[in-house]
Amino acid sequence: MKTTYINRYTSIDDNDNISINKDLLNIEVQNASDKKIGVMIIGIGGNNGSTFTAGLLAYKKKLQWENKDGIHGVEFLGSLAEFGSVNIGYKKNKPYTKLIKDMVPIIKPEDIVIGGWDICSDDLYTACKNNKVIDTDLLNQLKEDLCGIIPLKSIYYEKFIAKNQKSRVNNIKKYYNKNADILDIREDIKNFKEEHDLDNVIVLWSGSTECCTKTYDNIDDLFVDVYNDSDYISPSIIFAIAAITSECIFINTSPQNTISPAIIQLAKEHNTFVGGSDLKSGQTKLKSVLIDYLTSAGLRPLSIVSYNHLGNRDGMNLDETPQFQSKEITKRNVIDDVIDENPTIFNGNKPDHTVVIKYIPSVGDSKRAIDEYFTELFLNGKNILSIYNLCEDSLLAVPIILDIIIFSEFFSRVRINGEKFNSNLSLMSYFFKAPIEDEKFPTINAFFKQLYAIKNFVKICNGLPIDDFTNLHLR
């Protein structure tokens, strides 16, 4: 798939003079491999990992199941790759759309092979049963297959996840040193590729939220700490290094600061990609929409208070302060770019922004979220938006995990003027609470900017002009 695109953009100098610039971009999307794509999940027995694995297996087998609402089949509702559409033009003066998957060569869900690691030895049937996300009828149909999926032994450094997780730790590698752990995980990846005859593997962290650690600005400092067995080196950093040095894409779907500048630089050196951090699924995705709406309407948000409680293992892990602080950072930072782009409204201030998460075991995976947006109006009037949101946490997350796999693999095949995308895959920011920062690319959290970045790129790949809602051609 090849096209040429003239990219027009403006730049502003120190004297606020505006220049209009043009770049000629030759865009090529290389063909996907005929082989399947491997995905290795760290924390495969957790709510997200086990639900994704079971859901994908049910999709491949075209299973149906029955519950009190009737008979159902597997649809990845919430997936941009499966249901996202693009306006490709106008037919009789009305928008005409096509699905993204019909416009660019992305892999299909059935092309994915899953494996992974977990600190708990439970087979995937036992894990799914304990996690209580999947309906019993469907789970029973998958029992034989899921019983055969046993997680690989993982690594465990006690200080990084909550102490309340320790009772689950029965499936860990013998510890020698951190460099040995990297080599051991690289061997797991190599064996997985050979066993399933794969060209490519994506390694995805879906483990418990770690406490934040030291941020590494350069590769030398990173590897000095690895070889010195530093306590600053977390399990997720070990997996990131092992994946990248195996030339695999590494994705962090948890909030800790795994992907530092050193990790991005390492990915560049090994000609691969990283993505993250922390899935943007429910409450925070809505926040990225609402803060954009309020400021775009010329209103001034004064405070945002977000409360939620849940009873799954993620909630249990976040019940301890160091792990909660990692999550709090990604949930709070999602509004920063909107504030920065609207300095007149905010007048140098930020809204009061508080995030509260409580572990309530009885609600399980069914998360309750309550948000209050307190906003200033004309003549010092006030407006309060109070939102109550009940959602199945893992069932929102799984289609996003599918999208991350599909789009990261797709973007890895794109060449612009013969070069790959930057290693941090900035176009993937739509899927994350805390998109990775890079010296070249501004961080964008606003929902519709992120969404249309992907949709417009799909149009560009097809030689079509990007979205223009002025409709001047209809005059």
Return the CATH superfamily for domain 283-394: Dihydrodipicolinate Reductase; domain 2 (3.30.360.10)
* pTM, rounded to two decimals: 0.91
Residues 416 and 4: their CA atoms lie apart, in Å, by: 10
Give the count of beta carbons closer than 10 Å to the beta carbon of residue 16.
6
pLDDT tier for residue 196 given thresholds of 50, 70 and 90: very high
Q: Which of 405, 469, 333 is nearest to 37 (CA)?
A: 405
| pLDDT for res 356 | 87
Q: Is 113 in contact with 25 (CB distance < 8 Å)? A: no
381 vs 384: CA distance, rounded Å? 10
Break the chain into its structural domains and give their ranges: 37-279+395-461, 283-394
Distance between CA 262 and CA 277 in Å, rounded?
15
Note whether 273 and 244 are within 8 A (CB): no
Does the pLDDT value for residue 438 go beyond 80? no
- One-letter identity of residue 186: R
Contacts of 64 (CB under 8 A, 6+ apart): 71, 72, 73
User: CA 267, CA 250: separation in Å to the nearest integer?
Assistant: 9
Q: At residue 161, does pLDDT exceed 90?
A: no
Q: Which residues pair with 444 in a beta bridge?
A: none
Contact 385, 375 (CB under 8 A): yes
Alpha-carbon distance of 183 to 241, in angstroms, equals 10
pLDDT of amino acid 286: 85
What secondary structure letter does DSSP report for 172?
A: B
- Distance, in Å, from the CA atom of 182 to the CA atom of 121, rounded to the nearest integer, reads 20
Q: Which numeric CATH code is attached to 37-279+395-461?
A: 3.40.50.720
Q: Are 274 and 436 in contact (CB under 8 A)?
A: yes
Q: What mean pLDDT do residues 50-79 have?
A: 95
Active site residues: 278, 327, 367, 433
